Structure 1
Amino acid sequence: MSLSKPNASVATLTKNRTKNVCPFSGLCATCVDGCAGLCEVGKSAYRGKEVLYPQPFGKNTSASEKDYPIDLSHFNIMGRASGAWGVKADSDEAIFPAVDVSTEIGGTAKIKMKVPIIIAGMGSTEIARIHWEGLAAGAAITGSVIVIGENVCGMDPKVEIRNGRVVRSPELERRVKVFRDWYDGYGTVAVQANVEDTRLGVLEYAIEKLGVDAVEIKWGQGAKDIGGEVKLNSLESALQLKERGYVVLPDPTDPAVQEAFRKGVFREFERHSRIGMVDEEAFLERVDRLRKLGARYVFLKTGAYRPVDLARAVRLSSLARLDLLTVDGAGGGTGMSPWRMMNEWGIPTVYIISLLRQYLDCLSERGDFIPSVAVAGGFSLEDHLFKGFALGAPYVKAIGMARAPLTAVMVGNKIGRDAAAGKLSSEHSKYGDTIEQIFITSSELKARFQNDFDKLPTGAIGLYTYFDRLMQGLRQLMCGARKFALNYIDRNDIAALTREASEVSGIPYIMDLNKEQVEQILEF
């Protein structure tokens, strides 16, 4: 069985001409002279490097189509018929609304969260910028954590830079302010930095001028093993970003390139970030400096690199006594990561969580400091959350999500636009013709915010409603497992459906589960 789906994808707006496709190359079984070039190979003959990326840029999010040998569906959640953890084992008390899904992260100081979700780095991509109000306000009212991702200052057309350092960024100010406008004491907003952000002094600016108390050092992400990239549709933007130190392709300072752009030979430039170079001493010094500047919480986000780099992230997070380590598995993304890279590089989610737990066990056995941990990589529904906590137990304190929350915000914003224009789709209008009728949580939010309800972005209402569904679903699953708080979830709460899944994860194979207890019961 082929795990990959090469050469044609809705992500790259390509397709095969024939129904029968060669499973390993992805080429049509019969490639004929005269075809217009519908597949990735054919389209690459006339659009070249453009076909590396999901399209259309700025209007979509993308994630891998690769069918990994082991994923979260290869585990089932195990229920119980007796007992309870976290409440009295009484049928009147052990009900699912009593399940506590709150969590906290941090070292000495703690960030309390109503829901165990971190909305991972939403950076300079156009789709994150457009939907930021819904994302940030939604994170604030749900009591979750949201991270402002890389390159926001560098991409800000109105940023002020002196001597190579940011002194003002209206866009970063806006992003922080939206969260704070709706903040009610739970969660936080963090600012992330990559290589270019570090050179521009973004975290220093965020701490000293904006009063941000949580910052994140970025090593990478699960979607790609290079730096972030976006498309630029104007020559002015391309020249501006090249001047600010970014890698811009093709070179916008080249007169021949400028002429080709004006003639419409190509319509977008690519802006790329540099890859980081991890050095232990420099990393520890950086963390120390950030804390001295006033950062109360320092996070690290790492991607789906090889095991030695995951071990390095775990070790340095312990040595630096970080407040959060987020580990992102391969396969997902919210921006425009190269499509084949998104499918074919890195350690997938189940595998990387399994390695992460082994490495954290090593720290635990030595009595070393263990940071709060979040795992990410394709999580979207409540069973995913439960399995993520169980696979990484007892270390995982939160689940990182990006595409799914952004989807909820995009849908919420569309409903808001369509309702205002009186052009609701039949799917939405069957619930009513007002925001209050369509969003099932509106009465709850209206009672909470009263006159301010109408100021809530509909994208935020969408995110709140989505998270509300996730939390009820998670409570139901936890109740069935008799676990009434997140810290009680352990690795015995799930079972592997295949021997291979058991071997990879260390989770018992379902046919071997509870063998000793079964024998004791049957040998009465």
Structure 2
Amino acid sequence: MTYSPNLSSAFNDTFHRSRHLSPQSGMCSFCTEDCEGPCEIALAAVLGARAVYPTNTGANQIASEKDYPLDYSHFNINGRVFGAVGAGLNFAEANIFRVNLESEYGRFHPVRLAMPLILPALIKMNWEDYFGGAAMAGVTCVIGEDSRTKDPELRLEHGKVVHFPALQKMLDAFRRYDRGYGQIVLQCNIEDDMMGVPEYAIQVHGAQAIELKFGQGAKGTQPVNRLKDREEALIKQALGHLVLPDPTDPAIVQAEADGVCPNFYIYSRLPIWDEEYLIPRIAELRQLGAKNIYLKMAGYDREDIRRVLQLGSQAEVDMITFDGAGGGSGYSPCKMMNEWGLPTVLLEETVLQITRDMKNNGLYVPAITITGGFSSEDQVFKALAYGRGHVTSVGIGRAAMAAAMTGKHIGQRIEAGEVPKAYQKYGSSVAQIYGDLPELRALYGKAADDFSPGAIGVFSYLNKLAFGLKHFAALNRKFDMKYLDQTDLIPLTRDAKDLIKGRWFD
């Protein structure tokens, strides 16, 4: 059998002519010369290098299509009928509603979470509701890398950002609903850092938290974007981007005049960071006013994971998010999304092994978030239980984006008097149909009636996850999430058993 998808994908609307496939290559077993396709080979024959990336981009999200041989579905959730850990053994205390989901992290400036979730980096589609819903739910959220490129008013002087007014709107999307839980974090890649975005954000817009990005689970390298022509290439180059080939090269200028100019590509630089640079850099950002510093890492080589953890320990960062293969959302190479990196459960195991060694040696270990393909409370519970209290939170990215988009779309339909059929039985208005709006009124008063349906959608989705988590915790007679461990999981396969060996069977 093969775990890899065949040569057809929703990424680019490719498909096979035949239902008979060659499993190893992913091609039709019988390939004809008159086939118009488009399988992925046919698409590449026409589009060339462009076919490395999804063609269905725009207001869409994209994630891995690979069926990994080991994931959290290889575990069931345990259950118990005796005792009560973290609560008195009585009906008033030992009940689902009394399960404590709150936690706290932070080396110097503690950040409280109302539930053990964060919303990873985003700055596309409906980001306003994504950040607003995070604040309502009381969780941390992250503004994605390259956010400066979303601002048409962006201005640089001597290669440094001096005017980026859209950042205030991004930060305010969270701040206007901030109720003392969570935090909005600005993610910066190597380009952002080179252009002084962290300093600008802290000093001009009062940003309190910065995340430095090494990579993400669906995109281990930075993206490549094809540009329309040399004119656009010159504009991008003037904004500090790396453009290849160089549109100012005299040979390229002549090639354009001759009508034989090659394609231009904008390429985000790979992080060339090390301890010698980052540790003083992090100290500098703190001196400028940053209260919290985060790192974003993915399922790279084990020694790279170890090195980032040790660097984070030395620099005393507050949290490191580890993003496993199987998730997605961004503009990532098709095959990189499917075939690169450690699957999330194996990444979590790797991180746990390394952090255990660090703790045994008396080293500080930052808070750990695990993300990559999570969308439901059972998956979140399993990741937290697998983390044995060492994993602070689980990242919900693509699913929370979907909640922001659909919450907004359905709300607009309702307000236009076009209630979708699936929701007609609940009522005819947003106030009647959005079931957790009363929870928001309890937090914010009647002002909640004017909140965006998209933000309400994010809050409601996360509230559903939180309520489901309480059920699973109570099922195991654990009334605080900090008590979860691997005895709360039942391995269903030999591979799963090997990961938690000795905890269930000999």
Q: TM-score range by the shorter chain?
A: over 0.9
Relative to structure 1, is the Cα distance of residues 354 and 200 closer, same or farther in structure 2, using a 3 angstrom cutoff?
Answer: same
Q: Would you say the 8 A contact 1:230–1:336 is kept in 2?
A: no
Secondary structure of 2:351's match?
helix
Shift of 1:234: 8.7
CA contact (8 A) 1:229 1:336 kept: no
* Structure 2 SS opposite 1:396: coil
Q: Conserved in 2, the CA contact under 8 Å of 1:377 and 1:400?
A: yes
**1:41/1:399 CA distance change after superposition, 3 Å:** same
Deviation at 1:255, TM superposition (A): 6.4
Do 2:159 and 2:240's aligned partners in 1 also have CA atoms closer than 8 Å? no
Is structure 2 residue 36 aligned with structure 1 residue 21? no
Aligned residue in 2 for 1:68 = 68
Q: Deviations over 1:213-270 (max 9, x none)?
A: 1111111111121014567679866543222222346777766998999xxx99xx75
User: CA separation of 1:463/1:256 partners in 2, compared to 1, >3 Å: closer, same or farther?
Assistant: farther
2:105 aligned partner, one-letter code: I
Structure 1 residue 450 displacement after superposition: 3.8
Q: CA deviation at 1:493?
A: 1.3
Partner-residue secondary structure (3-state), 1:209: helix
Match of 1:85 in 2: 85
Aligned AA (1:318): S
For 2:226 and 2:478, the matched residues in 1 are separated by 46
Q: CA deviation at 1:470?
A: 0.4
Give the aligned partner of residue 385 of structure 2: 390
1:21-420 equivalences under 5 Å are: 21-123=21-123, 128=124, 130-228=125-223, 238-248=233-243, 271-420=266-415
Amino acid at match of 1:60: N
Q: Distance in 1 between matches of 2:266 and 2:174?
A: 28
Task: Please tell me whether the aligned partners of residues 487 and 503 of structure 2 are also in contact (alpha carbons under 8 angstroms).
Answer: no
Contact 1:496 1:509 in 2 (8 A): no
Q: CA deviation at 1:193?
A: 0.8
Give the aligned CA root-mean-square deviation in angstroms.
Answer: 2.4
Residue aligned with 2:176, SS: helix
1:186-233 deviation digits (Å, cap 9, x = unpaired): 111011111100111011111111111111111111112101456767
Change (3 A) 1:260 1:27: farther
- Seq. identity, %: 38
Does the Cα contact within 8 Å between 1:18 and 1:28 map onto a contact in 2? yes
Give TM-score, length-normalised by structure 1.
Answer: 0.90
Per-residue deviation, residues 390-437 of structure 1 (Å, max 9, x unmatched):
122221111112101001001011112222333333223343331112
- In the other structure, the counterpart of 2:10 is 10
SS in 2 for 1:10: coil
Give ranges in structure 1 of 5+ residues lacking alignment: 516-524
Q: Is the 8 A contact 1:173 1:210 kept in 2?
A: yes
Q: Which of 419, 436, 439 is the matching residue for 1:424? A: 419
Identify which range, 53-62 or 182-191, moves more after superposition.
Answer: 53-62
Q: How far apart, in 2, do the equivalents of 1:324 and 1:260 lie?
A: 53
For 2:20 and 2:67, locate their aligned partners in 1 and report how far apart those are by CA, in whole Å. Answer: 19
Contact 1:154 1:197 in 2 (8 A): no
Partners of 2:254 and 2:426 lie apart in 1 by 56
- 1: distance between equivalents of 2:438 and 2:258? 55
Instruction: Find the residue that maps to 1:355 and give its secondary structure.
Output: helix
Cα 1:378–1:233 change in 2 (3 A) is farther
Change (3 A) 1:145 1:260: farther
Q: 1:466: how far off?
A: 0.4
> What is the CA distance between 1:347 and its match in structure 2?
0.9
CA distance in structure 2 between the aligned counterparts of 1:188 and 1:259, rounded to whole angstroms? 52
CA 1:451–1:274 in 2, change beyond 3 Å: closer, same or farther? same
Does the Cα contact within 8 Å between 2:99 and 2:480 map onto a contact in 1?
A: yes
**1:451 Cα shift?**
4.4
Matched, 1:488 2:454: no
Matched residues in 1 for 2:476 and 2:230: separation?
57
Matched letter for residue 326 of structure 1: T
Deviation at 1:453, TM superposition (A): 2.4
Letter in 1 for 2:455: A
Measured against aligned partners, the alpha-carbon deviations of 1:426-467 in whole angstroms (never above 9, x if no partner) come to 223343331112211123324543442243121101001101
| Amino acid aligned to 2:353 | Q
Question: Is the 1:133–1:457 Cα contact (8 Å) retained in structure 2?
Answer: no
Instruction: State the alpha-carbon separation in 1 of the partners of residues 258 and 130 from structure 2.
Output: 38
Between the aligned partners of 1:401 and 1:257, the Cα distance in structure 2 is 47
Check the 8 A contact 2:414/2:420 in 1, yes or no.
no
SS of alignment partner, residue 11 of structure 1: coil
Instruction: Give the count of matched residue pairs.
Output: 502
Q: Which residue of 2 aligns with 1:518?
A: none
Separation in 1, partners of 2:429, 2:265? 41
3-state SS of the aligned residue for 1:216?
A: strand
Distance 1:212-1:94 versus aligned 2 partners, 3 A rule: same
Cα distance in 2, alignment partners of residues 469 and 161 from structure 1: 43
Q: State the distance in 1 between where 2:49 and 2:282 align.
A: 38
State which drifts further: 145-154 or 271-280: 271-280
Cα distance change, pair 16–508 in 1 and its aligned pair in 2 (3 A): farther
Of 350-359 and 365-374, more deviation after overlay is shown by: 365-374
Equivalent residue letter for 2:500: G
Deviations along 1:101-160, whole A, 9 cap, x unmatched?
11111113210111211111113xxxx2x3011111101111100111110114422112
* Structure 2: runs of 5+ lacking an equivalent: none
Contact 1:354 1:506 in 2 (8 A): no
Q: Distance in 2 between matches of 1:101 and 1:259?
A: 64
Report whether the alignment pairs 1:506 with 2:481.
no
Residues 232 and 484 of structure 1: is their aligned pair in 2 closer, same or farther, counting only changes over 3 Å? farther
The Cα of 1:297 is off from its aligned counterpart by 0.7
Tell whether the 8 Å contact from 1:148 to 1:189 is kept in structure 2 after alignment: yes
